Amino acid sequence: MESEAPPQKLDRAKILSDGKVEIAVRHSSMRQRLPFVVVREKTPAGLVPYLKVERWVDASELLRVAAEADLPVLAPSGKYFPPKKKASDYAGL
């Protein structure tokens, strides 16, 4: 039985300044390090940064990444936000 490590917090400021980050996610029953790129989307509240991933990843993993990075995630399956947050919370970052 494999024990899960407690969720770690990623450095949001470093991710935004670098414009990219590699994050380990469980994809097709395997742990893989996938590249996430920062993209900005124009909304009525202002520009909102998203971590964009090109691969299909389970929604539960994308929600975990959003919570750890404290940034919304944009994937082919949709947009995922950290708990109790919305796009306007990230406008102007």
Q: Is the pLDDT of residue 62 over 70?
A: yes
Measured CA to CA in angstroms, residue 52 lies from 30, 48, 63, 93 at distances of 20, 12, 13, 16
- Domain ranges in the chain? 12-90
Q: What is the mean pLDDT of residues 55-75?
A: 92
Measured CA to CA in angstroms, residue 40 lies from 45, 51, 62, 72 at distances of 12, 9, 18, 11
pLDDT band at 2 (very low <50, low <70, confident <90, very high): very low
* Position with higher pLDDT, 73 vs 28: 73
pLDDT band at 49 (very low <50, low <70, confident <90, very high): very high
Q: Is the pLDDT of residue 3 over 50?
A: no
Rounded CA separation 69/27 (Å) = 18
Q: What is the mean pLDDT of residues 13-17?
A: 87
pTM for the predicted model, two decimal places:
0.82
